Amino acid sequence: MEVNLKVAQLKAVKDEILAVGVLKDEELPFKELTRFLRADEFNGKDDQTAIISSLGRFDFKKLFLYGLGEQKEFDLDKLRRFSGSVVRYARSIRSTSLSIALPQINSINKEHAAQALTEGALLASYKFTKFKTKKDDLFEIKKATIVTEEKGLENAILYASTIASAQNWTREIDEHPANFITPKELAKVAMNLAKERKLKIKVFEKKDIEKLGMGGLLAVAQGSVNPPVFIVLEYNAHKKDLPLYCIVGKGVTFDSGGISLKPSKGLQEMKYDKSGATITLGIIKAVSELKLPIRLMAVIPATENLPSGSAQKPGDIITSYNGKTIEIINTDAEGRLILADALSYATKAKPEAIIDIATLTGLMKLTLGRHGIGLFSNDEELISVFKAAGGRTYERVWQFPLWKEYAEMNKSDIADIKNIGSEVGEAGSITAAFFLKEFIGDARWVHLDIAGTSMFAEPHHYLENGATGIGVRLVTEVLAELSSYGKGRDKK
């Protein structure tokens, strides 16, 4: 789907659908069509919809009204929900084209509003259909047009389209199951991206990983016939005067738990254990398309985690890339093992900051559910940039403490550290973060635990169920902010 801008009056719209957002108890537009609506049918309350035929009096066929709720509770995500909901409606009636009116709300910045409408529409238009063979399932909406009398919103729409399309691209890769995306196939995706975006790329294969001494990645991979890869991409690699940032994504293309096998219920969802990696790829794609003035290194350790005669066993002791020894207590805590190697690799480049993104602990689902990303960091400035960007993108973060007492829980009697903090999972997301902290040296660091947000079992306002790509907009926004790309852009 494409999102365009049209500078015109609403009554001049020619389209299948015209969608208009209405605040609670606000006067309804197009009186001649809406005057028969009773207040209990439609009064603009949150997420309410009404659909009215234009009866041939206008050049749009249907008027789609959407409730934006109370003015005082208004936020930009209401606009994503609004455009998302009209896109869903268009799909349900097989309309290939629709128009969306940019709401006139005094408190909102028009560029941010156009951006949010674009994001909601594009994200809602995405559905994973690659393996559907019936034509009916392949229906696609071609065009959404944002209509306003305001001029000059093209750039905001283009900016949002770039990021939301990168997020959809991420979702598409993430949806592919483990028999399609093995570590090697993920490397191919990265190589194609590198070619398309002119990024520098290194793909370390098993023998290289052995030479480097990445004991964590090798230990997790040793149970599978599909060998691991370690992928390093770099945007603006030759521009050494630009500040370097590093993003690290967990790429477990299937997590069975290994010898500490997971229960079979829901196990198919463990194809999404590569979300950190696919989001990382989506971020570098977006950043390179937006031409942000930074250098960006993306580091992806990729492997399967399977049980077999050659798999690692609880009790094993391994040596990670930075020389620390790790006692394996539970082979299902594999993400931190591969991230340990990747994080110490990243520190060698001495970046301004390291951001890791990982479906690290199932406990995230219990604490924040699907509504927030767990944030762990050693740097106050990064924390506040992330919180602000989380509010703007609605990919919200919630900060967890890194009190030193939690670090004690990872101590091993016989190695430097063990790979789980407690058998009962006490503070499991925090001890996992502390494990990672052992491998970042003195770098400024943010760890994002996306285990609760990387996939939705049920559809959401503008995200179908399945892979969400949540994190692409958040981290791209953070990097834009850090690179001061955003200078002059009004931040709300």
Cα(228)–Cα(218) distance, rounded to whole angstroms? 7
Q: Which does 287 bind (CB under 5 to 8 A by kind): Zn ion, ligand BES, none?
A: none
Please state the closest distance from residue 18 (CB atom) to ligand BES, in A.
41
The answer to whether the CB of 346 falls within 8 A of the CB of 301 is no
The residue (of 292 and 368) whose beta carbon lies closer to ligand BES is 368
The answer to whether the CB of 79 falls within 8 A of the CB of 32 is no
* The one segment of 72-80, 193-201, 319-327, 355-363 that binds ligand BES by CB under 6 A: 355-363
Cα(395)–Cα(474) distance, rounded to whole angstroms? 6
The answer to whether the CB of 116 falls within 8 A of the CB of 79 is yes
Binding mask 133-172 for ligand BES (x = CB under 6 A): ----------------------------------------
The residue (of 4 and 367) whose beta carbon lies closer to ligand BES is 367
Cα(254)–Cα(270) distance, rounded to whole angstroms? 5
Please state the closest distance from residue 260 (CB atom) to Zn ion, in A.
8
Amino acid at 86: V
Query: Which residue is it, tokens 């604490």?
Result: 367
The answer to whether the CB of 207 falls within 8 A of the CB of 233 is no
Pairing outcome for strands 143-148 and 200-204:
unpaired
Q: Which does 330 bind (CB under 5 to 8 A by kind): ligand BES, Zn ion, none?
A: ligand BES
* The one segment of 204-212, 314-322, 331-339, 443-451 that binds Zn ion by CB under 5 A: 331-339
**333 near ligand BES, rule: CB under 6 A:** yes
Please state the closest distance from residue 212 (CB atom) to ligand BES, in A.
23
Q: How many CA atoms lie within 13 A of 64 on its CB side?
A: 21
* The one segment of 125-133, 291-299, 356-364, 391-399 that binds ligand BES by CB under 6 A: 356-364
The answer to whether the CB of 327 falls within 8 A of the CB of 275 is no
Q: Which does 326 bind (CB under 5 to 8 A by kind): Zn ion, ligand BES, none?
A: none
Pairing outcome for strands 455-456 and 373-377:
unpaired
Of these, 1, 68, 311, 420, which contacts ligand BES (CB under 6 A)? Answer: 420
Residue nearest to ligand BES (CB): 362
Tokens of 369: 């559910």
Please state the closest distance from residue 244 (CB atom) to ligand BES, in A.
29
Q: Residue 100 contacts by C-beta under 8 Å, 6 or more apart in sequence?
A: 18, 19, 82, 83, 86, 117, 121, 144, 145, 146, 147
Residue 467 has a CB neighbour count (10 Å cut-off) of 27
* The one segment of 140-148, 331-339, 380-388, 401-409 that binds ligand BES by CB under 6 A: 331-339
User: What is the residue-wise DSSP string for 373-436?
Assistant: EEEEES-HHHHHHHHHHHHHHS--EEEPP--HHHHHTT--SSSSEES-S-TT-TTHHHHHHHHH
**273 near Zn ion, rule: CB under 5 A:** yes
Cα(314)–Cα(266) distance, rounded to whole angstroms? 23
Q: Which does 301 bind (CB under 5 to 8 A by kind): Zn ion, ligand BES, none?
A: none
Q: Which does 451 bind (CB under 5 to 8 A by kind): Zn ion, ligand BES, none?
A: ligand BES
Active site residue 188: no
Of these, 234, 255, 438, 449, which contacts Zn ion (CB under 5 A)? Answer: 255
Active site residue 336: yes
The residue (of 390 and 471) whose beta carbon lies closer to Zn ion is 471
**Please, which residues bridge with residue 145 across strands?**
4, 99
Rg (CA), the chain: 24
Of these, 77, 185, 273, 327, which contacts ligand BES (CB under 6 A)? Answer: 273
Q: Which positions from 311 through 330 interact with ligand BES, judged by CB under 6 A?
A: 330
Tokens of 341: 């190697």
Burial (CB < 10 A; 0-12, 13-18, 19+), residue 19, is buried
Q: What is the DSSP letter of 371?
A: S
Amino acid at 74: F
Of these, 334, 341, 464, 481, which contacts ligand BES (CB under 6 A)? Answer: 334
Please state the closest distance from residue 120 (CB atom) to ligand BES, in A.
25
Of these, 227, 335, 390, 469, which contacts ligand BES (CB under 6 A)? Answer: 335
**332 near Zn ion, rule: CB under 5 A:** yes
Please state the closest distance from residue 419 (CB atom) to Zn ion, in A.
10
Catalytic residue among 110, 127, 285, 336, which?
A: 336
Of these, 359, 410, 468, 476, which contacts ligand BES (CB under 6 A)? Answer: 359
Burial (CB < 10 A; 0-12, 13-18, 19+), residue 377, is buried
Which positions lie near Zn ion, rule CB under 5 A? 252, 255, 273, 332, 334-335
Which positions lie near ligand BES, rule CB under 6 A? 255, 273, 330, 332-335, 359, 361-363, 420, 428, 451
> Which residues are identified as catalytic?
262, 336
